[in-house]
Amino acid sequence: MTIGLSDARKPVRSGLVIVDPLLGTPQRVIVMQFNPETLQRTLAPQATQAEGQGDRTEALRLVAAAVETWKFDAEIDATDQLDVPAPAGIHPQLATLELLIQPPSTRLRANQVLAEIGTLEIAPIESPLTLFVWGAARVLPVRLTELSITEDAFDADLNPIRATVSLGLRVLTVNDLPTGHRGAELYLAHLAQKERLASASAPAGLSALGLTAL
């Protein structure tokens, strides 16, 4: 049986989901036009002491979940979707990403009014919860820590029509979010998924390392 290109399973798309932090309901789904070709992940353990310092009895203790960061580049190209009208180029897609790290203008105006009338304490603006989705096995609560945009093609009105967006994400853990927060529950589910995957890894013995005993 010959399997043609039309029969091949299409890869799922990666993206971001904006979630109401109280209700846990999706407010917006941002789908990557193209899945990034590479992902850079870094994990840093949270130990009880700095490297080479402190009580030796604490050397193996962990005080919190590891700090995990992700970096990747995403391509946005209006010329690849000629059947979709784009009078503003890719401005809408870029603006959607930029607003992930901007407070709403209405809240900024409201805070200005509070400051003008002499309000002594103005609460910081809480942003929606952002989830990074890379397949069903990776649904992570994150904070966008870096957003760099390189626009490299424009239409006749100077609207960008092609760009590379570099994103940096920090995974939010139970140490970043209050107990019962939807993001904290999603992080625990993600960690439990890692534990299940690790348990499925084929075990090895000391002999594979050329050892008979420790």
Expressed as residue numbers, the domain containing 155 is 12-44+61-193
Task: Identify whether 55 is part of a domain.
Answer: no
CA distances from 198 to 12, 115, 195 (A): 23, 52, 5
Query: Could you tell me if residue 49 is inside a domain?
Result: no
The pLDDT tens digits of the residues spanning 72-104 come to 999 999 987 666 677 889 999 999 999 999 888
Distance of alpha carbon 137 from alpha carbon 102, whole angstroms: 29
Q: Is residue 54 part of a domain?
A: no
**Is 33 domain-assigned?**
yes
**Per-residue tokens: 47:** 């130990």
Q: List Cβ neighbours of 49 (8 Å cut-off, separation of 6 or more).
A: 55, 58, 59
Q: How many domains does the chain have?
A: 1
Residue 128 pLDDT grade (very low, low, confident, very high; cuts 50, 70, 90): confident
210 located within any domain: no
Residue 33: what pLDDT?
93
Given this model, what pLDDT does residue 82 score?
64
2 within domain boundaries: no
- What integer is the mean pLDDT of 130-149? 94
Residue 29 in domain: yes
pTM exceeds cut of 0.85: no
- Is 80 within the bounds of a domain? yes
Contacts within 8 Å (CB) and 24+ apart, 195-200:
197/137
Collapsing DSSP to helix, strand or coil, 35 comes out as coil
